[in-house]
Amino acid sequence: MLFLLISPAFCHAQDPCAAGASISSISPTTWIAGQTTTVTMTGFLPPCYNMNVTVDTGSVTIDAYPDSPATTWQFPVTPDSSDPTETATLSISVEECGLACPSPASVTVQIIGCATPTITSVTPDGWWATGQKQDITINGGCFLTQSEPGRPSHLTLTDGANSVKLSNVSVVSSTQITATVNVTKNAPAETVTLTVTNPSSSGSPGSATANPAPVVLPVPVIKWRGRVISGDGARNQSIIVGQPVELTTTPATLPGGFTITNSTWAVPGTNIKQYHEDDDDGISVDETDLDTANTSFYWLYPETDLNVTYNYCAKDPSGNQFCTSPQAKATFKATGPTASLSTWDSKEAKIESLNVCMMNNQKRPYLGYGDLSGPAPGCPGSPDGTMGVRLTASGASGGKYVFVQVIDADFSVYTSPAPAGGGTPPAPRICGPHAGLDGQYPYRDVYRDAPIAYDGPQMPLGRDYATGTRNFHATMYLLWQPDQLSGTDTESIPIPIRHQDWQFIGTAVQKPPIGNDKWKTDRTPTASGDQGEGFVQATPYDNALYGYPLWEYKASTVCNVSQAIN
């Protein structure tokens, strides 16, 4: 406690201090820091007294005292400009003058530590147009609470669009006010003004405007194909897997000086941004970009209740950033075809007589899967007859089927007879490919105008060999590319549907004597047809590419010797 003795003492020895001082009234009882206030007091002031003000902090100056007894008198008081808001005690005591004197008279007054309120910040400084209540806090100084003179400070809000309502105002302390705001849905972007005013009866009238002023920021919306698909009344959107989903957002109409600094999408389900295929390098996909104002992607697998959301961060002119925007949400249903793939195979190996290129149509024996005639593999023209395996797609409505075949393993093994007169036969001749894409993307051996892919592996048989065996394993992938989505120039992409593993294993034996080109099939070790689980449904977890076929290069054949097949 700081006790300040402000005035000089006046002692009149000729007038005994028979009576003490008294205070009947004082006006005003509120004094403003930094301002001089003339105080009027009634009561009794003897000729011999001390006057002082007791405060917790700061200081108060009092001047001009009467030199004789008085019942009404005036005097100026000046609290220091740095004084805080606090309660003070004005007391008057009678000088002893060598005599015992009565107790001091006192009265309570209020010191207001500022002349006008100030606002230093408003949090949050961005309010969202959601139609829901948001709590705000105004920080500053010289706010009057309910318990202080004038009680309390008033808070008002003005906005040009009349779209913000203020409620639940509470002056918590001299430095903080809380309130609730509700911004109408779809309100325009605008700057609003908050004003704190102290009542004139408080002795410290004045007002302060929020600086920086709060800003009303619009809730984002999601648009697709030229229309809003988020918010109240938005219906579920339907899309076919493989068709492009190209989404844009607004607002982006922000108050002057505000900029969007970051965008965030959340896209559920199995989705990609781009799809690429190359005969030599295989298929690749780019994951969906989720940090731009607009996004484009494809869903690969059917799914319902796909909730796509978007929100953004904004920066004000002072560089302050906030990321509390409400989410815009759009719900999709991705549908896909009901496709099936039936497999037919001949289940036998046959010796086929085919026309060899550049040999004046001479025919040579081949071990083949199926029943073919005509040109040999690699020669111009198409073979006649029946391929060993045929895969037929059905069930999809619209769009087109895309076949892709990947060779998993393929070996041709030739054995030679023992030398005349005995001895060890030569080592077998083995030819095999690097596993990879069979031919090209998409698979070329399909029936015209029909969703049917076929294959009939063959191997040439040289007259100097005793046996020839073909061991062929492949996987046929079925993809489906939907029709192009109306209203966009972006093409649809093929999406994985199913795949089928199949194989052909066959052996040919030359009848003795070796060299007469008389071949027959050895049916005992011959096998063909479906492998594993048959036609397998594609899933996002099939491989690293969500069920797309994998390869690194085209399959090619390499033999362990350079010996030609005669």
Strand (E) or helix (H) holding 341: strand 340-345
In the structure encoding, which two tokens stand for residue 492, read together? 């649809």
Tokens 């083995």 belong to 430
CATH 2.60.40.10, the chain: domain bounds: 2-112, 118-217, 221-335
| CA pair distance 137, 7, nearest whole angstrom | 44
Burial of 513 (0-12, 13-18, 19+ CB in 10 A): exposed
Classify domain 221-335 at the CATH superfamily level: Immunoglobulins (2.60.40.10)
List of residues 6+ apart from 297 with CB closer than 8 A: 244, 245, 267, 271, 272, 273, 288
CB atoms within 10 A of CB 8: 9
Decide: 346 and 309 in contact? Cβ < 8 Å.
no
In the structure encoding, which two tokens stand for residue 155, read together? 């808070």
C-alpha of 83 from chain center: 51
C-alpha of 566 from chain center: 65
3-state class (DSSP) for residue 287: coil
CATH topology of domain 2-112: Immunoglobulin-like (2.60.40)
pTM above 0.85, yes or no: no
C-alpha of 343 from chain center: 44
If you write DSSP's letter for every residue of 64-93 in order, what string do you get?
Answer: ---SS-EEEEEEEEEE-TTPPSEEEEEEEE
Classify domain 118-217 at the CATH superfamily level: Immunoglobulins (2.60.40.10)
| CA pair distance 96, 92, nearest whole angstrom | 13
Is beta strand 133-141 parallel, antiparallel or unpaired with respect to 118-123? antiparallel
CA distances in angstroms from 432 to 352, 425, 559, listed in the order given:
21, 21, 6
pLDDT in 10s for each residue of the chain, 566 residues: 333 333 444 444 445 455 678 889 988 887 877 778 888 989 888 777 778 787 777 788 887 566 668 888 888 888 887 777 778 888 888 776 555 567 788 888 888 777 678 898 898 878 888 888 999 999 988 888 887 666 788 999 999 889 999 999 999 988 899 999 999 887 888 889 999 998 876 555 678 787 667 888 888 899 999 899 998 888 899 999 999 999 999 765 677 778 888 899 999 999 999 999 999 999 999 999 899 989 999 999 999 999 999 998 888 777 777 776 778 999 999 999 988 888 888 888 899 999 988 777 689 999 999 899 999 888 888 889 999 999 999 999 889 999 999 999 999 999 999 888 778 889 999 998 778 999 999 999 988 778 999 999 999 999 999 999 999 999 999 999 999 999 899 999 999 998 998 989 999 999 999 999 999 987 655 666 665 556 788 888 888 899 999 999 999 888 874 444 44
| CA pair distance 389, 502, nearest whole angstrom | 9
